[in-house]
Amino acid sequence: MRSLPTELVDHCLLHVRYGWEDDIPYRSTTDGDLKSCSLVCRSWRTLAQAYLFHDFFYPFTKAENHDSMRVETSYGELASAVDPPPTLEALRVFLCAHPHLASRIRIMHLQSDSRELDFETSLPDHSVDQSLFATLLSLLPRLQQLFLCNVVLEATRPADELHMLPSLQALTLHYGEEYDYVAAEDLQKIVASFAQIDKLALATSSYIQTIQAPENELSPLPRPVNVQHIVLPELGRVSAPLLVDVLSRTVQMPQLRRLDIPSESADYQGIVNALSHGLEELHLNLEPFYVDFWERGPDDIGLDIGSCQMLQKLYIAFSIGGHSVTDCWRFHVQNICAFIRQAGFSAHAFPHLRTFVIRLGVSDTESSRVPQPALAKPLDEAFASLVRETTLHSVTFEWVRGGESWERLEDDAFADYIYKTFPVLRSKNAVFIQAPTGEEGGSSV
């Protein structure tokens, strides 16, 4: 084994760590094979540890609550009885004793476990000691992404120590699951504590249904936050104005350039208006997963992005499929055309707009793969009008890759579908087709 070149062993371990489909890697669900590889020899152990500890998940609880959790949980009683409590202090001790492993961690998931609490009589206590939290993160010299699930800081002010982590680039905050809530001042505090991050994502895997209103009016924070990219969650009408207070009126974000929104609902209007200054890139996700087909009426007012006059790139994502392809097309055509009319696109209103990308997922089924030029005609004409009246030269269509459980049109099949569905754009040579290559764009075909 030692005679094998390091590059070859590393490539083999890469295939063990990830599954592959059409040359695209996806994360495997088990580390068992990789752990076995780490026991082959010392050189293999060093290489395998880079993959084993790259993405580190740690659900924790408070030590004083561990006994009650051991009694009340319906699974894992024996393991909990003999294992040390999974506390942040235990994690700190582990990282101090194994600095070579701490340096391997690039992505850290910290989840506050509150299963031992009685939700009918009390709210979960997710607060963590701020100094311990800062010490813990200081032991991760190469940490790039931090995921915090139901975590708030035990402090009255933002943590000065946390914005001194030079390697940290992205922070994801996940709240609102089951009976969990986050107070507006806690959200403000934790966002301001990580002043150096480039990307802030809020509740990307669940909905923020309730942000508790502060007891007193939130005071603006003196420290500006260097966030350049914000991913917003699905919002309730109660949470939306409170999130506006946190993200725009109390936390300074002068470097913000990109905003991701899960729908074109008017609930986000206050946030867009408040953060539009300097905004260069806007992503709207209109996937059916996020949109209820039957609740929106034709007279409902959607999102108006007219205040985003510095906009350079606009991305709209939606998909075609399901039981009724006709209803799906009609819904998206109606909403996207209304969105375009309300924004008032023109070369004067959006003088810097250069990129307009439609990320379209088309199910590879018998009903979905048939081009629909008649249903898409209003959208085809609206896109052609955009090219004629704005600074755009074309509309880019980007396909969405399928997965193990579903197939979607790709490559030439997708291009043929677009050309036949949007004949007006095609006749004006204003269609550009590209493959998905991540967030930064795609390659033409």
pLDDT band, very low/low/confident/very high, at 397 (cuts 50, 70, 90): very high
Whether the CB-CB separation of 188 and 220 falls below 8 Å is answered with: no
pLDDT at 26: 47
- Fold of the domain built from segment(s) 1-52: Monooxygenase (1.20.1280)
Read off the pLDDT of each residue in 12-18 and give the average, rounded to a whole number.
67
Q: What is the pLDDT of residues 278-329, one digit of tens each?
A: 899 999 987 644 444 445 554 556 788 999 999 999 999 988 887 788 888 9
Round to whole Å and give the CA distance between 271 and 273. 6
Q: Strand, coil or helix: what is 53?
A: coil
pLDDT at 283: 94
Taking CA atoms, 109 is separated from 40, 149, 157, in Å, by 28, 8, 23
Taking CA atoms, 173 is separated from 27, 33, 177, 205, in Å, by 22, 31, 12, 10
Task: Choose among 309, 316, 238, 239: nearest CA to 273.
Answer: 309
Out of 96-110, 169-183, 271-285, 419-433, pick the least confident: 169-183
> Please, what is the average pLDDT of the chain?
77
- Max distance between CA atoms of the chain, in angstroms, equals 71
Read off the pLDDT of each residue in 87-111 and give the average, rounded to a whole number.
87
Q: Is the pLDDT of residue 240 over 80?
A: no
Q: What is the pLDDT of residues 23-66, one digit of tens each?
A: 444 455 456 677 777 777 877 777 777 777 788 888 887 655 54
Task: Choose among 316, 377, 375: nearest CA to 345.
Answer: 316
Whether the CB-CB separation of 214 and 243 falls below 8 Å is answered with: no
What lies within 8 Å, CB to CB, of 368 at 6+ separation is 320, 321, 325, 362
Read off the pLDDT of each residue in 327-343 and give the average, rounded to a whole number.
89
Q: How many residues does the chain have?
A: 445
Whether the CB-CB separation of 13 and 38 falls below 8 Å is answered with: no
pLDDT band, very low/low/confident/very high, at 391 (cuts 50, 70, 90): very high
Round to whole Å and give the CA distance between 131 and 162. 9
For the entire predicted model, the pTM comes to 0.81
Residue 170 token pair? 């992205």
Report the Cα–Cα distance between both ends of the chain, in Å, rounded: 43
Whether the CB-CB separation of 358 and 364 falls below 8 Å is answered with: no
Which sequence spans correspond to the domains of the chain? 1-52, 53-256, 268-445
